[in-house]
Structure 1
Amino acid sequence: MSQPNRLPKDATGLVYGLEDRPDFAASLVGAIQHVLASVVAIVMPTLVIGQALELGDQIPHLISMSLIVSGIGTFIQSHRFGPVGSGLLSLQGTSFSFVGPIIAAGTASKASGHTSEQILALIFGLCLAGCLVEICISQFITSLKRIITPAVTGSVITVIGLSLIKISFTDLIGGEQSSSASGLTNMMVGLLVVAVIVWLSVLENFWLRIMGVMAGVIVGFAVSWFVGMVDFTQLDGNAWLAVPQPLKYGLDFDWVYFVPIILVYLITTIETTGDLTANSVISGEPVVGDLYLSRIKGGVLGDGINSGLAALLNTFPNTTFSQNNGVIQVTGIASRHLAGYIAVILITLGLFPVLGSALRLIPRPVLGGATLVLFGSIAVAGIRILASQPFTRKQIFVVALSIGCGLGVAMVPEVLQPLPSSLANVFESPITTSGVIAILATLLLPDDCQADS
């Protein structure tokens, strides 16, 4: 099958394409911006799980391992070793979809009187077994052309971007517990970050453009430091070195808690498909044809293998991240060769926890301003996919149901209360709901449901 032509760089707005090799300075600046956009999302699921299960002294080690595995996984995913990896500039980290089932399994283990080490052994055993599910799915994913359609992936990507906007605005005001007085200051700082990023990103100057996200964060950090929003006490008591210890906590298993983990691995396969499709669009690469499907297959396989590596190195499953798609669109650098720089930065942050902790000094309004631009760009990528295809009536209903249900769950999460807790934990993610509804609608609606001429 002949491959569709890639979009020319002037159509995609790229400065460097997928196979281009930026010089050291451009690569380093681009890599730093990817790390700034993703590092909080990489460590946040670990923080949430650790605090929910009261893992205490284990949390710093878990955070360090999440950064190290994210770096290794990003390198594997982007460089593609044999059939493993997408070959796109794609960061790896833990999806929030895993948080609910992991906390549920850990809470039940804790209620049985297990120690923190025993709780983690159960969690990592479940996750290691679950990665085999995703590895198996990857071998058949190219046969699923009927459900991996632009209507499905475009809907999921749009929901990914739109559903993340709430996180940006929550951070923009300093968190849900922010007072009205501090909320105004927080919002002004966050909007300043937005203004700097947008202003620099639309300029013709190459260096100013690719430094947009980083410059916005630096300016926001400086202003927030000046007004007393930076808490340096967070650096106190951090260890200086974290050494990976494979299977530090051992492995355990329980079938009762394995089913929800399987479901999440199935769902994150959909998320990965959407993220990699968005990445392909933004990078000017094909989103149909053999090359595209090969990348999806390799990307899902890479997720599965990286998740197995994560369990062995004492952290939680890895999936492709959507944040860096926004960075590619803003900076114009889609080169997969940045992955080596990103990997070195993330692994270094993991090996030296005090460096990773320093990133936590960045106030939430600053991060909210930066992610507002990035998450909005992801939604635009989804809309571009939907707009690129002629719509049948079937596709209209697929998109309408997928986006409607996905955003409905995001806006009214109480709708899931009648469901069993195991299902509610899985479908509380609007991305999960959107993906499942899109696939069911694609499979169940008749193909002769054509648009009126």
Structure 2
Amino acid sequence: MNDSSLGTVEQLRDPNYTPPLTQAVPLGIQHVLAMFVSNVTPAIIVCGAAGFGFGSNSPDFPQMIYMIQMSMFFAGLATLFQTIGVGPVGAKLPIVQGTSFAFIPIMIPLVAGKGVDAIGALMGGILVGGLFHAFLGLFIGRLRFALPPLVTGLVVTMIGLALVKVGIQYAAGGVPAIGTEEYGSLQNWTVAGIVILVTLGLKFFARGMLSVSAVLLGLVAGYVVAFLMGMVSFASVGQAASFALPDPFHFGLDFTFAAILGFCLMSFVSAVETVGDVSGITKGGAGREATNAEIQGATYADGLGTAISGLFGALPNTSFSQNVGLIAMTGVMSRHVVTIGALFLILCGLVPKVGAIISTVPIEVLGGGVIVMFGMVVAAGISMLSDVTWNRRNMVIFAIALSLGLGLQLEPGALQHLPSTLRVLATSGILPAALIAIVLNLALPEELAAEATEEVTGGLSGRQTGSFTKD
């Protein structure tokens, strides 16, 4: 958009400025389109891992619709915490909140095959983890030293690697179809492939809204093809209510050590990610550094939004990085634009039919979309790792953390003799990798022998600090 049609450069950089509604509303909806698919996908993945049926005749199917509905509602509410603020809660910046992918590798082992009864433990962990996340706001700035790019890049990469298997399973027909003739069929892969191709085409050859909404439009294209192939059923849409309010303690609350510890540890990583997003917004949109009050307020809002979500049956919330890029691209820093998007999300969350329509998307179509999204998570982690100075010390830390974290995730039977709680946390892959990297980075001295601190260059050369091999 042309800056002159919206306001002066100074106005656009002011979070309190509101463009005319004829422009503010489309800009707000654009923010929703950029995050919509990523926001509702975790609910579908968690429900699928728990064993909820995807057909309208399944007794658990309404529970999945409810969780999708709450993902939209509480993403909107948490976004309002950030844009409007409540006392010290909220950065009062254009920060879009949404359901976090980072927690999925923790949630899947906690609910795997256990049905709706396992969701209560999940909600207990989300509540306590959210409160812990908010508590981190008191001193988050002083904890950043423990999470340099070596650690955060590894964690983000591990999150993506833990999820790519889910994307492949969905594209092939979903977990329930494993072992059947339909699993991995040409029809399934054709639909998933169309989603990927349309997404890539729009991302690289389109501009503006078409490029920003590439994943969403790719899913729409795959959905149309799936409908023409007879893979879509609208039976659930007619059964869904036209309006429904959030239901407190919908799944109950069950406090287990594994869930609480897992969510608290991941909240630490999520809090630092939010600090990065706030800094990205102020630099990209206003050309300045984030203030301590903004960083603290954003962390409080992150945690409070997550804790409230757990009370009503929704998943953890965090700031969405894709919307940070959108602000840099449009140059519009107005928090009130994002408030309009938040209100749109809340409205969608109050209409169960919206969740029912989303649930009609075939698992193969969703698979094509998440293959792209999860691959981008891995790519984001690798991008963060490019800022690391690859000397022998850092390479050893990375190698040990990655080998143990990814290895335990790939071979969970190796820890079969551990108590169930520790086994669930260790085989997630994310937590052991993060803890090992943090401990080794703090314990191993920076000043080592010359051969240990010498930069490793040659081989796969790129940036001076991003090269990998040396004999």
Q: TM-score range by the shorter chain?
A: 0.7 to 0.9
Q: Is the 8 A contact 1:68 1:350 kept in 2?
A: yes
1:353 is displaced (CA, Å) by: 0.7
Q: State the number of aligned residues.
A: 420
1:57 is displaced (CA, Å) by: 7.1
1:295 is displaced (CA, Å) by: 6.1
1:299 is displaced (CA, Å) by: 4.0
Q: Answer yes or no: is 1:154 the counterpart of 2:159.
A: no
1:171 aligned partner: 170
1:205 aligned partner: 207
Q: Is the 8 A contact 1:156 1:431 kept in 2?
A: yes
Q: Is the 8 A contact 2:258 2:424 kept in 1?
A: no
Q: Answer yes or no: is 1:96 the counterpart of 2:138.
A: no
Alignment root-mean-square deviation, CA:
4.1
Choose which of 314, 322, 327 in structure 2 pairs with 1:325. 322
Once the two structures are overlaid, the 10-residue window that deviates more, 420-429 or 129-138, is 129-138
Q: Is the 8 A contact 1:392 1:451 kept in 2?
A: yes
Cα distance in 2 for residues equivalent to 1:268 and 1:212? 29
Once the two structures are overlaid, the 10-residue window that deviates more, 439-448 or 175-184, is 175-184
1:75 is displaced (CA, Å) by: 3.2
Q: Is the 8 A contact 2:30 2:209 kept in 1?
A: no
Q: Which amino acid aligns with 1:25?
A: P
Structure 2 unaligned runs (5+)? 1-11, 54-58, 456-471
Any idea what the Cα deviations from partners look like across 1:102-144, whole Å, max 9, x if unmatched? 759x99x97xxxxx9xx95x87666545543333233222222
Matches within 5 A, 1:207-222: 207-222=209-224
Any idea what the Cα deviations from partners look like across 1:50-104, whole Å, max 9, x if unmatched? 959x989766555533432222113324666665346464433263356369759
1:427 is displaced (CA, Å) by: 2.9
1:345 is displaced (CA, Å) by: 3.5
Cα distance in 2 for residues equivalent to 1:235 and 1:147? 48
Structure 1 unaligned runs (5+)? 1-15, 111-115
Cα distance in 2 for residues equivalent to 1:346 and 1:157? 27
Q: Is the 8 A contact 1:66 1:316 kept in 2?
A: yes
1:440 is displaced (CA, Å) by: 1.6
2:458 aligned partner: none
Cα distance in 1 for residues equivalent to 2:50 and 2:385? 35
1:310 aligned partner: 309
1:31 aligned partner: 32
SS of aligned partner of 1:145: helix
Q: Is the 8 A contact 1:171 1:364 kept in 2?
A: yes
Greater relative contact order (CA < 8 Å, ≥ 6 in sequence): 1
Q: Answer yes or no: is 1:67 the counterpart of 2:72.
A: yes
SS of aligned partner of 1:388: coil
Cα distance in 2 for residues equivalent to 1:235 and 1:258? 38
Q: Is the 8 A contact 1:32 1:214 kept in 2?
A: yes
SS of aligned partner of 1:362: coil
Matches within 5 A, 1:14-413: 23-42=24-43, 44-45=45-46, 51=52, 61=66, 63-77=68-82, 83-85=88-90, 87=93, 89-93=95-99, 95-96=103-104, 99=107, 127-176=126-175, 177=177, 179=181, 183-203=185-205, 205-246=207-248, 257-258=256-257, 260-274=259-273, 277=276, 291=290, 297-312=296-311, 314-316=312-314, 318-320=316-318, 325=322, 328=325, 337=335, 339-413=338-412
Q: Which amino acid aligns with 2:211?
A: R
Q: Is the 8 A contact 1:97 1:268 kept in 2?
A: no
TM (norm. structure 1) is 0.76
Alpha-carbon spacing, 1:344–1:44, altered in 2? closer, same or farther (3 Å): farther
TM (norm. structure 2) is 0.74
Once the two structures are overlaid, the 10-residue window that deviates more, 173-182 or 414-423, is 173-182
Cα distance in 2 for residues equivalent to 1:317 and 1:206? 30
1:207 is displaced (CA, Å) by: 4.0
SS of aligned partner of 2:230: coil
Q: Which amino acid aligns with 2:33?
A: I
Cα distance in 2 for residues equivalent to 1:152 and 1:427? 17
Alpha-carbon spacing, 1:78–1:159, altered in 2? closer, same or farther (3 Å): farther
Cα distance in 1 for residues equivalent to 2:354 and 2:262? 35
Cα distance in 1 for residues equivalent to 2:381 and 2:122? 34
Q: Is the 8 A contact 1:17 1:284 kept in 2?
A: no
Cα distance in 2 for residues equivalent to 1:374 and 1:99? 18
Cα distance in 1 for residues equivalent to 2:150 and 2:262? 22
Cα distance in 1 for residues equivalent to 2:293 and 2:378? 24
1:423 aligned partner: 422
SS of aligned partner of 1:390: coil
Q: Which amino acid aligns with 1:325?
A: Q
1:223 is displaced (CA, Å) by: 0.6
Alpha-carbon spacing, 1:204–1:339, altered in 2? closer, same or farther (3 Å): same
1:227 is displaced (CA, Å) by: 0.8
Q: Is the 8 A contact 1:156 1:403 kept in 2?
A: no
Cα distance in 2 for residues equivalent to 1:253 and 1:182? 37
